[in-house]
């Protein structure tokens, strides 16, 4: 019996030692996947708390844990409302993730925990506020909206708007004709567009192209690429996702995209370091890293750091009246133009209207002639799925837009978890749909767009009928 108790005591001691070593390892050197999860959680909670004004507990439960990786259900958070920082840890102990808010620039993920460095990157730049539109003035000049009840009826169908819908706004002939919002969300709630930001990022580059500061034909883009094959990559190839750079866009594990977004303080330095995997222009490879390189390029051409940090507001958001729009930077002050832009659905609609107007706003050309045309022009390397200008030329899923009955020349801004904006120039129509709708649910926005077109067609047919 004594021998049994000795062995039991030895086993318990060995187990305690193992657990102590394992806990120390998790604290000192947590696996990268855990750090990705905590970094993601901190960033999402921070932005939704301090930009969108949502309850941080609800954000953790609904946006992070409910739809995400099982490990995210073990995340605990510490939200400092005074300092405007968020810290998340696995079980409240391991693999800390950090994010910090700064006025005008939203939240920055801080993988190394250096809040001071993250804030210093933008602290000396104050952005001029953009006046919120007057509700008594019709959108887009103000916030006044008159609903077309026939289209509003379409938006009342949950099968068409999809699970997890948070906002749908329909623009036709320059006006919002219908909108709807999910529980807890409204026309004043800024919402994350995820990769819809890529198209906005491209437009910022387009503003500098319009000013003659950049050209899509430029190569030799970064000093780090001198003397190797990467020096041949052009801006045009980056815009079309045909750079040839290696980049893994898969989510759910530690890949290039999750490492870049949640583990790297300097996102563009990481992407610049990646090798070639194909000749420039030969292969389509969807890459958020490519969009980060475009951010760095247009910021370098904007006339200095302070000018670059204020450029989105001065050059795009203010002219369009996008008072809610926030483009967020990484820890070094480079905008995360691949993924991190918040705006109300109505402000996403203002940007969509700019595209419907071929880059012209109130008779002022903001984007070069042909720029928006290139957004609807499919590339050969993508087999007709992607454009030359950071947009998709077909909606989500395998079917083509033509199979859904959408007009030729339509194109899309698409983002993670069901974000979409269908741009249909032939009909003066844009349908913006935002929400929390993981791809596994299989939602497709094309039937919604087609049904709205059917209503518009019927309205036009009625208008053409002679009086009786």
Tens-place pLDDT, residues 219-273: 999 999 999 999 999 999 999 999 999 999 998 789 999 999 999 999 999 999 9
Instruction: Report the pLDDT value the prediction gives residue 462, as an integer from 0 to 100.
Output: 62
Residue whose structure tokens are 């980056």: 238
> What is the pLDDT at residue 70?
85
Q: How far apart are CA 292 and CA 285, in angstroms?
A: 14
Residues with Cβ within 8 Å of 457's Cβ and at least 6 positions away in sequence, in order, are none
Distance separating alpha carbons of residues 466 and 468, to the nearest angstrom = 6
Starting at the edge strand found earlier in the chain, the sheet holding 429-435 runs: 175-181, 165-172, 429-435, 419-424, 411-415
Which pLDDT tens digit goes with each residue over 169-191?
999 999 999 999 999 999 999 99
Burial class (CB in 10 A: 0-12, 13-18, 19+), 12: exposed
Q: What is the pLDDT of residue 277?
A: 96
Q: Name residue 220's beta-bridge partners.
A: none
Q: How many CA atoms lie within 13 A of 359 on its CB side?
A: 24
Q: What strands, in cross-sheet order, belong to the sheet with 106-109?
A: 75-80, 85-90, 94-102, 106-109
Strand partners, 181: 167
Percent residues over pLDDT 90 in the chain: 88
What is the reported pTM? 0.92
What token pair was written down for 467?
A: 């009086």
Within the chain, what is the greatest distance between any pair of CA atoms? 106
Cα separation, 242 vs 279, in Å, equals 9
43-99 pLDDT, tens per residue?
999 999 999 999 999 999 999 998 877 889 999 999 999 999 999 999 999 999 999
Q: Say if residue 2's pLDDT is above 90.
A: no
User: In b/e form, how buried is each residue of 214-230, taking b as 16+ CB within 10 angstroms?
Assistant: bebeeeebbeebeeeeb
Query: For 126-172, what is each residue's pLDDT tens digit?
Result: 999 999 999 999 999 999 999 999 999 999 999 999 999 999 999 99
- Of the two residues 384 and 465, the one the predictor is more confident about is 384
13 pLDDT tier (thresholds 50, 70, 90): very low
Q: How far apart are CA 175 and CA 145, in angstroms?
A: 8
Closest CA to 351 of 323, 389, 387, 388: 323
Residue-wise pLDDT tens digits, 382-440: 999 999 999 999 999 999 999 999 999 999 999 999 999 999 999 999 999 999 999 99
Q: Taking a C-beta distance cutoff of 8 angstroms, is the pair 466, 184 a contact?
A: no
Q: Could you give all domains of the chain from N- to C-terminal order, each with its CATH number?
A: 32-120 (no CATH), 168-458 (3.40.710.10)
**Run of H or E including 433:** strand 429-435
């Amino acid at each position: 019996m004594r021998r049994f108790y000795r062995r039991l005591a030895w086993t318990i001691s060995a187990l305690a030692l193992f657990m102590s070593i394992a806990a120390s390892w998790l604290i000192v050197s947590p696996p990268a996947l855990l750090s990705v999860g905590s970094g993601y959680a901190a960033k999402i909670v921070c932005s939704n708390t301090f930009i969108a004004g949502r309850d941080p507990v609800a954000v953790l439960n609904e946006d992070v844990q409910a739809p995400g990786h099982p490990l995210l259900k073990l995340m605990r958070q510490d939200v400092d409302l005074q300092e405007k920082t968020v810290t998340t840890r696995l079980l409240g102990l391991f693999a800390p993730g950090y994010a910090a808010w700064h006025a005008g620039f939203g939240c920055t993920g801080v993988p190394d925990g250096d809040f001071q460095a993250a804030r210093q990157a933008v602290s000396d730049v104050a952005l001029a506020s953009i006046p919120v539109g007057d509700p008594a003035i019709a959108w887009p000049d103000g916030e006044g909206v008159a609903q077309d009840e026939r289209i509003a009826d379409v938006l009342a169908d949950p099968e068409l708007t999809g699970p997890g819908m948070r906002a749908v706004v329909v623009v036709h002939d320059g006006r919002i004709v219908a909108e709807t919002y999910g529980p807890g969300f409204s026309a004043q709630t800024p919402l994350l567009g995820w990769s819809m930001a890529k198209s906005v990022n491209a437009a910022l580059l387009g503003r500098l192209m319009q000013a003659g500061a950049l050209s899509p034909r430029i190569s030799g883009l970064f000093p780090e690429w001198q003397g190797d094959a990467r020096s041949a990559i052009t801006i045009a190839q980056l815009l079309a996702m045909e750079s040839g750079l290696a980049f893994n866009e898969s989510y759910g594990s530690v890949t290039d995209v999750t490492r870049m977004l949640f583990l790297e303080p300097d996102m563009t330095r990481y992407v610049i370091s990646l090798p070639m995997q194909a000749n420039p222009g030969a292969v389509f490879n969807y890459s958020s890293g490519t969009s980060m390189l475009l951010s760095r390029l247009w910021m370098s051409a904007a006339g200095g750091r302070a000018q670059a940090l204020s450029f989105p507001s001065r050059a795009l958001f203010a002219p369009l009246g996008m008072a809610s729009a926030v483009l967020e930077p990484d820890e070094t002050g480079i905008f995360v133009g691949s993924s991190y832009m918040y705006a109300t659905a109505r402000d996403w609609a203002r940007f969509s209207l700019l595209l419907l107007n071929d880059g012209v706003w109130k008779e002022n050309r903001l984007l070069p002639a042909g720029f928006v045309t290139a957004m609807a022009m499919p590339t050969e390397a993508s087999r007709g799925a992607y454009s030359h200008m950071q947009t998709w030329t077909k909606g989500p899923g395998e079917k083509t837009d033509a199979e859904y009955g959408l007009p030729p020349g339509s194109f899309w801004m698409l983002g993670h978890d069901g974000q979409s904006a269908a741009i249909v120039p032939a009909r003066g129509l844009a349908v913006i749909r935002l929400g929390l709708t993981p791809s596994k649910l299989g939602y497709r926005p094309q039937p919604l767009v087609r049904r709205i077109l059917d209503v518009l067609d019927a309205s036009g047919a009625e208008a053409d009928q002679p009086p009786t």
